[in-house]
Structure 1
């Protein structure tokens, strides 16, 4: 941890001692592990890592580390520090993690250097547990070893996902200076960021750069471009990309077709989406659950409930499960039309697939049954069916 007044590194052990509350308590399950550190018998680094991993409550991590640093056999190896980073992240202890980072990784004479794997774990902790993009970037740029392409791509993707597009673009350009070998994944992430900004001309220019960088565009590359085009209703250009794929060396998979079907659905062109689905099989690509659910949702949104029911039946023959939202739309639609028998069919089918209506749906079901059938017992039958199938 850097002191703002002295501009130096505060000793790790002293900092951790300050962070420990004198009133802190140790979980009962970890008492024996902490007591083991008070014995004078020698602990190898591997044994220390095993004990640290065995802690059941991440909040015991600071107590463990305080005891371990007081021992003569204290040896902070990379496996131990990697485990410590994971435990501190689980316990949401940012300050001790920063202290660990600065104490063990600042370049000093005769200090051991940790590998890319350690820094990848540290970067993931900053990103996932603390959402600190600033620490992520600082760690990447201060690594004593060149970051691997995996680590670089993780950070690049993080910047795109958090919509820091300018920072992502700058990092991409800075990659070679960091000693990173850019690959197809790096380019795909950059394309994703450009598409998110609507910069399709630039995204297509990146696509043209693949061969010059020794990379080959893959199905994910085209899927990313298609998804961006579909989200903006540019379906003709999306289908042109499909033709480009089919004319080249990249095989279209179900994910590619699902993007196109989803784009057609959002444009209210569900019949065209159904034709794309059927055309997949003619091209040797088997539709998956996502393919059918896109068509099913489109039919439900268009209030074509009878056709939607047939799709549900076809999905079950193929071994796919309709989405909860599709079932919800079917229940609402059939309830509004007062078709009690169909409502009961939907409920039974939901439960058979491991989905149970929520309270809001039950309210519509009960109201529908009472308005159309009085107290004929339809509601009781449906509820009994749920209870039987839920056992």
Structure 2
């Protein structure tokens, strides 16, 4: 065992010559450690470990929590591993996943996944008991920091070697990783292999696959999966329908999305605000503002409070259809419900009113914009000034100058 740990330490020292730039980061995080010092740390362990060596020696019994108190504050992964190796030589050493998690996190931050692999083998030999949550975090490390989803997938199936079986949550995370990376074939193969690791896919698992099929524009296959869900012991939820409806609306198939919306109740699934927002936005984008408003009112009648997204969907619909008076009314309603319109909304309103020659309305929107601490850009001031001059509104010109610089008057 001592020889195996020495191998890990040797790997760290070799790593110094191969990745001296990363070692520079490590040593800058702690008190200065030159290259020669790194080698000296191995030759004169007790002297260089200093206070840490005393902490590891003076106790008759060193608990895991006491070891963690020593390891957690350390910024130098090399020092953390050396302290860990020293602690592992004690007769009272008991390996556990929490200690390894701390070490793995420190190594992952500097990209040393080869050493993590060696330590994983060491854990296996030590018969270290691990939970699903430990492997979930490790899988996240391999995907987010190592950018190696294939290794993460392999680890998912290696969990059995540690006498640990993945939960459906961990399985779904791995599944979602491949969909996010647009490796849809691998995601589907993983889904089919679920029984190998005693996983029964749930609604979230199917939702991830439906999302993948929508991204591939295979809507018919997504529908088939939707209708097969009850046979697999799971039922669609509002997220399932939201994924499908969002794809349909993006493709301009709003009528088909509305049919799907009406069929939701067949599975006892009630639409939420997100689904209403998707449909309202889809209708608004197609210029069907009347139907969008009806759906907006229907949402409220069902006891669902409109969100900022709900108001913006209606607001953008009016703006796209050049109904600026109605759009201004929606923006006022938003403010009365403590929602602030976006910069784009204000800019479009001011531009629209200027084009229509409604200078007073444009200035009122500008004042509202400033009151919401949204800074108008020079293009907006320029447009307003040109519109005022074009319409010979001397009074409004003075008001606008005062708005730009109150110190003038």
Q: TM-score, normalised to structure 2's length?
A: 0.78
Q: Which has the higher contact order (CA 8 A, sep 6+)?
A: 1
Cα distance, 1:107–1:282 mapped onto 2, change above 3 Å: same
Matches within 5 A, 1:225-236: 225-236=244-255
Question: Which position in structure 2 is the counterpart of 1:371?
Answer: 386
Cα distance, 1:208–1:335 mapped onto 2, change above 3 Å: same
Superposition deviation, residue 303 in structure 1? 3.1
Matches within 5 A, 1:82-101: 82-89=101-108, 91=109, 93-94=110-111, 96-101=112-117
1:132 aligns with 2:151: no
375-384 or 284-293, which deviates more: 375-384
Superposition deviation, residue 29 in structure 1? 8.9
Contact in 1 for aligned 2:95/2:128 (Cα 8 Å): no
- Secondary structure at 1:143's aligned position in 2? helix
* Structure 1 or 2: more helix by fraction: 2
Query: Could you list the runs of 5+ residues in structure 2 that have no partner in the other structure?
Result: 34-48, 390-396
The one of 249, 264, 284 equivalent to 1:265 is 284
For 2:347 and 2:122, the matched residues in 1 are separated by: 56
Contact in 1 for aligned 2:324/2:353 (Cα 8 Å): yes
For 1:10 and 1:336, the matched residues in 2 are separated by: 77
Query: Could you list the runs of 5+ residues in structure 1 that have no partner in the other structure?
Result: 1-7, 386-391
Cα distance, 1:204–1:373 mapped onto 2, change above 3 Å: closer
Question: Which position in structure 2 is the counterpart of 1:16?
Answer: 12
Deviations 1:28-68 (A, max 9, x none): 6999xx8652433345322333344335xx5x334333343
Matches within 5 A, 1:4-83: 11-20=7-16, 21=20, 25-27=27-29, 36-39=51-54, 40-42=57-59, 43-55=62-74, 60-71=76-87, 72-73=89-90, 76-83=95-102
Superposition deviation, residue 220 in structure 1? 1.0
1:246 aligns with 2:265: yes
Deviations 1:303-341 (A, max 9, x none): 332221110111122232323432343344445556554
Cα distance, 1:259–1:373 mapped onto 2, change above 3 Å: closer
Give 1 or 2 for the bigger CA radius of gyration. 2
Contact in 1 for aligned 2:96/2:129 (Cα 8 Å): no
For 1:174 and 1:10, the matched residues in 2 are separated by: 38
1:356 aligns with 2:352: no
Superposition deviation, residue 75 in structure 1? 5.4
Question: Which position in structure 2 is the counterpart of 1:388?
Answer: none
Contact in 1 for aligned 2:113/2:146 (Cα 8 Å): no
Question: Which position in structure 1 is the counterpart of 2:40?
Answer: none
